[in-house]
Amino acid sequence: MRHPFGLLSANPRLACRGALLALVLLLAACAHAPPRNPLATWVPSPNHDIRRPVLIVLHFTNQNSAQASLDTLRTKNSGGPVSSHYLIGSDGHVYQLVSDQLRAWHAGAGHWGTITDVNSASIGIELDNDGTTPFAQPQIASLLRLLGDLTTRWHIPRTQIVGHEDFAPTRKDDPGPLFPWQQLADAGFGLWPLTPLADPPAGFDPWMALGLVGYPLEDRAAAVRAFHHHFRGMRGDALDAEDLRILYSLTQQIESGSNTRAID
């Protein structure tokens, strides 16, 4: 008579293997399932979405090689664990360390405009650079391709690309005054002043304008230093007439709700 449970039960070794395979498949399914609260009955709804970043943050690694940075970004270091979504080597090679949909630990404390949890709202890109040398052109070419991909796939406004120091000017100085923001602007990325620059009208408030752009103003000198690095490629913590013209151009674009620079 055939065993009621079929051939698997007739062969104990085969039955054991079948049970193990079923267990492995079950565990694999659980590993990819979203976490469920055991205090509640799971009644799934299709009405949900994944994290959608609205900002891209650029950093320099301040280390001497891409490999050293990969090690830092995947392990604990003296300042605690850090990560970023991408790392671009000086040779232009692009590494991804964290899924775009997940929250990487690259931003830390700070705020940009109304965004107060930058890690939750952004994608972080580290550039292999020690902070004292010009950024390699193969690296910038790869960055431009990556920015085109990210802004297209995630519908991130092309003006929403900032440096770490822009939103954390009291703590950070990257990507620094050597970063080629003008080259990014020529490719259609980042908020950038439109030329020819015009003098602002009487009563123009540069501090209100700096805050409108997104800079935190708790330490105004630090904010100006970051602004100078980004928009003028120079150091200094006092505003001058050229700064006011740049700020006026930026605020005009923001208030009009568009950046009229041509976008590729």
- For the stretch 235-263, pLDDT in tens is 999 999 999 999 999 999 999 885 433 33
Q: Domain locations in the chain?
A: 1-36, 55-183, 206-256
Catalytic residue, from 126, 218, 242, 255: name it.
Answer: 126
Mean pLDDT, all residues of the chain: 88
Q: With respect to CATH, is domain 55-183 assigned 3.90.1170.50?
A: no
Q: Is 126 noted as a catalytic residue in this protein?
A: yes
Contact between 264 and 187 under an 8 Å Cβ cutoff? The reply is: yes
How far apart CA 183 and CA 185 sit, in angstroms, is 5
In this prediction, residue 238 carries a pLDDT of: 97
Q: Work out the average pLDDT over 55-69.
A: 96
In this prediction, residue 11 carries a pLDDT of: 56
Q: Work out the average pLDDT over 146-174.
A: 98
Residue 264 has pLDDT above 60, yes or no: no
Which is more confidently placed, 198 or 24?
198
Residue 5 has pLDDT above 50, yes or no: no
> What pTM value is reported for the model?
0.84
pLDDT category of residue 212 using cuts at 50, 70 and 90: very high
Q: Work out the average pLDDT over 88-102.
A: 97
Residue 234 has pLDDT above 50, yes or no: yes
